[in-house]
Amino acid sequence: MEIMYVNKSEKELKTTAFYGDVLDLVNMGVDIEGIEFDDNWTVKKFLSITPFAKKRIENVFKYLDLDTKYLNVKIKDLSKVIYKYVLLSHAILNNKRVIIFERFDVGLSNKEKKNMVQIMKKLLNDGITIILITKDLIFANQVCENIIVIKNKKEVFNGTIEDLIKEKKNIIDKPPILKFIDAANKKNAGLQITLDHKELLKDIFREVV
């Protein structure tokens, strides 16, 4: 399930990327709650809309740039992307303050990822804590400063994403941009380590000029 909540945790949680599995979070003492529903429910029924809540639903859908036409669609008939947004709307409507995004980026196009990053930044500005379970380091880096890496049920790294990539710890699958930089630097390119493609292009231009 792409969206879950945190009921309580044995230690204070802050917005972080999590390179592991949701069960690893449970083993760390995080009490997690999923979302229950029937695929045959309409989105309207799933969100338990009442006349008093109608305006709030509309505001949340506007916040997520989600068309209210989906309220009358059955959950099983939603596209994968809209389904993700509906789950997120449920979390917001239920005032969840710590939201777990489990592999939420999977299946999203680059454009959809950019839109999701902007929404996550709005959530952060509104005081929501985000736990982002993902293997996409570039996506994570746009939302989170810190990352926890779990291997074989053991914590092997807990720090900033910047430190993780600069220390060149071989504990995660490197994204293509880091592989490119490593290969170029072996040929004395002198490129700076970065996950930002725009910064990489600027660096390449500086080296060429």
- pLDDT confidence of residue 62: 94
The whole-angstrom separation of Cα 101 and Cα 65 is: 18
- pLDDT confidence of residue 50: 67
Cβ contact 50:81 at 8 Å? no
Q: In this structure, what are the phi and psi dihedrals at residue 21, rounded to the nearest 5 degrees?
A: -125, 155
- pLDDT confidence of residue 169: 65
pLDDT tens digit sequence for 115-127: 999 999 999 999 9
Q: Tell me, what amino acid is at 160?
A: T
Q: How does strand 146-151 pair with strand 30-33?
A: unpaired
Q: What is the CA radius of gyration of the chain?
A: 19
Token duo for residue 144: 């989170």
The whole-angstrom separation of Cα 51 and Cα 67 is: 18
Token duo for residue 109: 């196009």
- pLDDT confidence of residue 184: 78
Q: In this structure, what are the phi and psi dihedrals at residue 146, rounded to the nearest 5 degrees?
A: -100, 155
- pLDDT confidence of residue 187: 77
Closest alpha carbon to 54 in 79, 71, 40, 39? 71
Q: Tell me, what amino acid is at 63?
A: Y
Spans of the chain, pLDDT less than 70: 49-52, 168-169, 199-200, 203, 205, 207-209
- What is the pTM assigned to this prediction? 0.85
Task: Measure CA 109 to chain center.
Answer: 14
